[in-house]
Amino acid sequence: MTNESSRALPLPLTFLGGGTYTATVYADGTPGASPYQTPVVVGTRTVTAADTLDVARAPAGGQAVVLKPN
């Protein structure tokens, strides 16, 4: 989560064990007229411990990721 300033953070997934994982990402969509009117966009992708997620947060936004082994 962030305040009224947008932020980006690279998140290395080196903490994951071997194999592949499904990452379900709940991220900020395109901000609305107010920082508090940002929609949530849900997406999935396959990741490994070698990947890095780009965590981009809109003003007054945030991001959540659920990781499940395949």
CATH number of 7-69: 2.60.40.1180
Q: For the segment 17-55, what is each residue's pLDDT rounded down to a tens digit?
A: 999 999 999 999 887 777 677 889 999 999 999 999 999
At 40 the three-state DSSP class reads strand
Kind and range of the H or E run holding 52: strand 52-57
- Domain residue extents for the chain: 7-69
Decide: 26 and 64 in contact? Cβ < 8 Å. yes
Structure tokens at 21: 């994982």
The model's pTM is: 0.84
Smallest Cα–Cα separation from 14: which of 47, 63, 45?
47
Binned at pLDDT 50, 70 and 90, residue 1 comes out as: confident
The answer on pLDDT for 2 being more than 90 is no
Decide: 2 and 62 in contact? Cβ < 8 Å. yes
Q: How much is the pLDDT for 56?
A: 87
